[in-house]
Structure 1
Amino acid sequence: MGILDVFLHCFSYTFLLGAFTVVLFMYLISPSSFSTKKHGKEPPGPRPLPLLGNLHLDLKKPYNTLLELSKKYGSVFTVYLGPKKVVVLAGYKTVKEALVDYDDVFGDRNPLEIIRELTQSHGKLLLWSNGDSWKEMRRFALTNLRDFGMGKRACEDKINRQVQVADRKNLPFTDAVIHETQRLSSIVPTALPHKTTRDITFQGQFIEKGTTVFPLLTSALYDPNEWERPHSFYPAHFLDKEKTFVKRDAFILFSAGCRVCLGESLARMELFLFFTTLLQHFRFIPAPGVSEDELDLTPAVGFTLSPLPHKRRAISRM
């Protein structure tokens, strides 16, 4: 081994040792080891790795990991997505309190960097805008939705189905099945990122202005304090003793507060009309050679959760 090889070997070893020492030091003094003494304690959470954050999140089901973390750290806790600090809100009462009772604090959006660049180049988007521009675009969107017929009989004529929304009260079990399917298989497990507009001490935890906040909607839909069988398909969640359909406050599928989905009533109407019409005309069974046990209900993870492709047979009832 030449002198140069020995030098390079020693240099590599020294560099790696130094790098390890720096990473270890950063880990020991990471933000999770501090608390804001001046204002009070910050939301707890798992200790992050420097720059990398909390790597133990299940990328296939990140919402499940967050649900498990809420059992350990409580309904208001912190995770780091890379170097980005995020406060997660879990449980119906906590999510509702933040988005409805303190909507002036938790109501702003915190757009992803790619969205920020897009809006700067192509104008504002309603989903990610804040302040007066958001209020103006929201009014414009609501006006156009009403002109289209949202919440009106005219909209039913545009969809042209045999059943009508007015029939819903006569089909309580059907309505309950639709709601329970949405509750158990929510396609949006967490609301779009919010951010705080000012410093706030929320449920005993200090959250500073500008902090990214994830309201975990799934935690409300699976909250054991609100649902008798949170992890089972149980349409009776939406039926009273007389088998009449009942609304549930914890059913916040479309978020809550000032940022609730504008098209909620339109989506509910369309879903009811399409679902009932399809079931009136067809019976759906697995394709030949496929058993019900082989159907994988695990969703594909993307911007939203979507079902995996399945082969089905639609048999006419006519």
Structure 2
Amino acid sequence: GTQTLIGHSSVHQRCPRAPVLRNISQTITATMSVLSLSGWLDLSSVLIFLFVLLILVDLIKNKAPKNFPPGPPWSLPFVGDLFRIDSDRIHLQVAEQYGNIFSIRMGQRMVFVNGLKPVKEALVEQGENFVDRPSLPLFTDIIQNKGLVASNGYQWKQQRRFALHTLRNFGLGKKSLESQTQVECRFLNEVIGNTQGQPFEPISVVNNAVANIISCLVFGDRFDYSNSYFQTLLKLMNEAVYLEGSIWAQLYNMFPWLMRRLPGPHKKILSHWAIVIGFIKLKIKEHKEDWDSSTPRDYIDSFFSEMEKWKDDAEAGFNEDNLCYCTLDLFAAGTETTSTTLNWALLYMIKYPEIQEKVQVEIDQVLGPSRLATMADRANMPYTDAVIHEIQRMGNIIPLNLVRLTTEDTTLRGYTIPKGTMVMATLHSVLFDEIEWETPFAFNPGHFLDAEGKFRRRDAFLPFSAGKRVCLGEQLARMELFLFFTSLLQQFTFSPPPGVEPTLESKVGATHSPKPYKLCAVPR
């Protein structure tokens, strides 16, 4: 969601030593002023003294607590390990030296948890202790810590409960939403068919198709592929999500007072989301004008009804501001991750044509040339199901997971993690766990097939995370991936443009996505 969005960011959190440090700082500042006025020290000496003081304060404030997870022995003042660690490989670089649970400084100390068993121990067995989100300045400025992803406590529980209930009411897990998705499959196939086998970039049309499913659920309508305004919105969201994984976003969260005043790419994150939020507010206004409580059309209408029920309980968050941010979370999360996975799917199919061919054989056997798949068909298509799962595993859309915050002092595998510590339970380390996967770094659908060719579940398949904050759109995403993927391979054979060798080059922002690429779609 908007916190696909929070994945790579860090923040300077409130520190238990803050009052003491504040008193020290005030005392020293007053002393320096007196000394300077008395002529005992010149200006350069004052500045050097203050600089040394700030470094000492930073060292005191960020001193590792007793029995804290180990990490690099030294860090730069203020920025910590920001500039000497590759954010794409944090979990690999440091884990090699310090093990599956370690800490680094990204403004403040953060704990990383790696590997299937430690991640499950944290997120599932001790779920209540790792359930909160931190307050990050960048996202506070965008969504005020509201919505479905950034909120905590009572408000988060009520909003998550309502969102799940409402999505089910409008077809999640039912035939009606399957039928709606099948209609969108036909629209997508028509647009791709119009390319007449010539090279084209699939990313924008796939994004539009996926966005239309969540748009029907939250806005009550889909958007045509020729709608330039909607295409622009999707591009703005995509760029904002990419920039949220950049060093600019991390610097914003460390030094918000400074970054708010400086130009740079971080300003695009704010302006892009402001445009998307403006679009959502317009949709809410349109709904308000013709809302009928007796016949809710979508999530927004249902939220209006809920606002009336909860008007005496402000803490539950059923107000128009929160409606905007919850809708933003659903729209952004319901578009970004599934569309990125489908774009990986097409790239893997042109990279491995022999796998594409085996999927098509199974589709032809079960569905024939024209009948669109339903979710009931998945049980009879184990190879196709295995390929989709392997695409999700290798695509590794949210490699670091979304950041958590400990709700109380916690012990994890012998280490003490104080209340208010940011924690990353990395999904990359689970999806590529060398203990759990036979060939973790190779694209191998056999990971999800038994000796008889039947589909098998794997404990280490956690692309949607786990525990109390598991992705609430998991069921929707699974349906979309199966129906869109089978429909596309039923109608077309995908290949790279003539003379082009496909690569799996990626870009890492808040999500891990393929770089723009072209392919050819030849009707079967």
TM-score (normalised: structure 2)? 0.53
Partner of 1:298: 505
Distance 2:496 2:142 in 1: 42
1:48 and 2:75 are equivalent in the alignment: yes
- CA distance in 2 between counterparts of 1:97 and 1:179 reads 23
Give the one of 63, 83, 89 matched to 2:88: 63
CA shift, 1:152, in A, is 1.5
Q: Is 1:268 paired with 2:511?
A: no
Residue aligning to 1:311: 518
- Which of 219, 240, 249 lines up with 2:459 in the alignment? 249
Q: CA deviation at 1:291?
A: 2.2
Structure 2: tracts of 5 or more residues without a match: 1-41, 186-371
User: Cα 1:23–1:140, aligned 2, differ >3 Å: closer, same or farther?
Assistant: closer
- List aligned pairs for 1:137-152, cutoff 5 A: 137-152=159-174
Give the AA of the match of 1:77.
F
2:101 maps to which of 63, 66, 76: 76
Whole-angstrom CA distance in 1 between matches of 2:374 and 2:172: 14
Contact 1:110 1:193 in 2 (8 A): yes
Q: How far is the alpha carbon of 1:67 from its aligned partner?
A: 2.0
Matched residue, 1:205? 415
Deviations 1:108-140 (A, max 9, x none): 1114212223343xx721101111101110111
Deviation at 1:288, TM superposition (A): 2.4
Of 421, 425, 443, 1:233 maps to 443
Cα separation, 2, equivalents of 1:299 and 1:229: 20
Provide the rounded CA distance (Å) in 1 between the counterparts of 2:51 and 2:142: 38
Cα deviation code 1:249-289 (max 9, x no counterpart): 11110010010011101100110110011011111111123
In the aligned structure 2, how far is the partner of 1:210 from the partner of 1:73?
22
| Cα offsets for 1:61-102 (capped at 9, x unmatched) | x23232221121111111111x22211111111111100000
For residue 8 of structure 1, what is the aligned residue in structure 2?
Answer: none
Of all paired residues, the percent bearing the same amino acid is 46
* Counterparts of 2:135 and 2:495, CA distance in 1: 42
Q: Which has the higher strand share?
A: 1
1:211–1:244 distance in 2 versus 1, CA, 3 Å: same
Q: Match of 1:158?
A: 180
Aligned in 2, Cα 1:232/1:154: closer, same or farther, shift over 3 Å? same
Instruction: Name the Cα RMSD after superposition.
Output: 2.4
Q: Deviations over 1:172-202 (max 9, x none)?
A: 1111111011101111112211100000121
CA distance in 2, matches of 1:196, 1:25: 27
Range with bigger deviation, 20-29 or 176-185: 20-29
- Structure 2: distance between partners of 1:241 and 1:291: 33
Deviant stretches of 4+, over 3 Å: 11-32, 117-120
1:90 is aligned, of 114, 138, 145, to 114
- Aligned counterparts of 1:219 and 1:138: Cα–Cα separation in 2: 27
Match of 1:220 among 430, 435, 448: 430
Contact 1:199 1:206 in 2 (8 A): yes
Deviation (angstroms), 1:303: 2.0
Aligned-pair CA distance for 1:19: 8.7
Code of the residue aligned with 1:96 in structure 2: it is K
**Other-structure match for 2:124:** 100
Indicate the residue corresponding to 2:151 in structure 1: 129
- CA offsets, 1:186-225, max 9 Å, x none? 1111221110000012111111001111111110001111
Structure showing the higher helix proportion among its residues:
2
1:129/1:25 CA distance change after superposition, 3 Å = closer
CA distance in 1, matches of 2:389, 2:90: 25
Aligned partners of 2:178, 2:376: CA distance in 1, in Å? 10
User: Tell me, which stretches of 5 or more residues in structure 1 are unaligned?
Assistant: 1-10
2:112 and 2:426 in contact (8 A); partners too: yes
- Kept after mapping to 2: 8 A contact 1:238/1:246: yes
Partners of 1:184 and 1:80 lie apart in 2 by 28
Q: Please, which moves more after superposition, 149-158 or 213-222?
A: 149-158
Q: Is the 8 A contact 1:126 1:138 kept in 2?
A: yes
- Report the 3-state secondary structure (helix = DSSP H, G, I; strand = E; otherwise coil) of the residue aligned with 2:440: coil
Q: Tell me if the contact between 1:63 and 1:218 (Cα under 8 Å) persists in the aligned partners.
A: no
Is the 1:67–1:90 Cα contact (8 Å) retained in structure 2? no
**Paired position in structure 2 for 1:7:** none
Contact 1:150 1:265 in 2 (8 A): yes
**Corresponding residue number in structure 2 for 1:193:** 403
AA at the equivalent of 1:230: P
Kindly state the Cα deviation for residue 170 of structure 1 after the two structures are TM-superposed: 1.3
